[in-house]
């Protein structure tokens, strides 16, 4: 082996602040990172998959749903995770992009809100006792989904 980079990583075991189900589309990473920081998540267990919460809400295959639940259970078992953050974003390829909604951003947001609620309900039934938060990210902001009401989460600079 040849060392290519020196790093100083902590050796201590950690407790996870939140397992985060997030898409691997990186267009929204900067804003989402600010949200994660604002939410006080310092030790996340990131679960990055195409379509993010779609795998729980309306998976292409049941094995997709089982995979995500298994990853969350591993986070719970290995890192003491009690909180899960589920996300979806605008123009997601897993949903056919914004074109699927004929360019109607409001229709897309309403659909993704329902999907996030469906994903949260499924996860809470599959893994009782978790705290589940859901967020929709678009090109103008990040929206927390609560009890069927979308609220913008303001992120400064």
DSSP secondary structure letter of residue 156? -
| CA-derived radius of gyration, the chain | 16
Task: Answer whether residue 10 is part of any domain.
Answer: no
How do residues 17-66 score in pLDDT, each as one tens digit? 999 999 999 999 999 999 999 999 999 999 999 999 999 999 999 999 99
How do residues 90-101 score in pLDDT, each as one tens digit? 999 999 999 999
Average pLDDT for 65-76: 97
Q: What percent of the chain has pLDDT over 90?
A: 89
For residue 47, what is the domain's CATH number? 3.40.1050
Task: Answer whether residue 17 is part of any domain.
Answer: no
For residue 10, the model assigns a pLDDT of 86
- Given a cut of 60, whether residue 157 has pLDDT beyond it is no
- Tell me which residue has tokens 């009401």: 149
Task: Answer whether residue 34 is part of any domain.
Answer: yes
Q: Which domain holds residue 80?
A: 22-153
Average pLDDT for 131-156: 75
- Give the whole-angstrom CA distance, residue 46 versus residue 57: 18
What residues are paired with 152 via a beta bridge?
143
What residues are paired with 87 via a beta bridge?
135
Token pair, residue 43, equals 């030790």
- Given a cut of 90, whether residue 151 has pLDDT beyond it is no
């Amino acid at each position: 082996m040849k060392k290519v980079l020196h790093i100083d990583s902590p050796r201590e075991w950690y407790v996870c602040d939140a397992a985060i189900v997030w898409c691997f589309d990186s267009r929204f990473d900067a804003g989402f990172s600010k949200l994660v920081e604002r939410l006080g998540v310092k030790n996340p267990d990131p679960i990055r998959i195409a379509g993010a919460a779609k795998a729980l809400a309306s998976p292409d295959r049941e094995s997709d749903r089982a995979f995500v639940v298994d990853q969350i259970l591993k986070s719970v078992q290995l890192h003491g995770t009690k909180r899960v953050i589920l996300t979806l974003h605008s123009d997601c390829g897993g949903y056919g992009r914004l074109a699927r909604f004929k360019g109607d951003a409001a229709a897309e947001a309403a659909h993704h809100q329902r999907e996030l609620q469906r994903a949260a309900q499924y996860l809470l039934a599959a893994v009782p006792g978790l705290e589940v938060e859901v967020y929709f990210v678009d090109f103008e902001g990040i929206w927390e989904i609560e009890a069927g009401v979308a609220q913008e989460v303001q992120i400064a600079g």
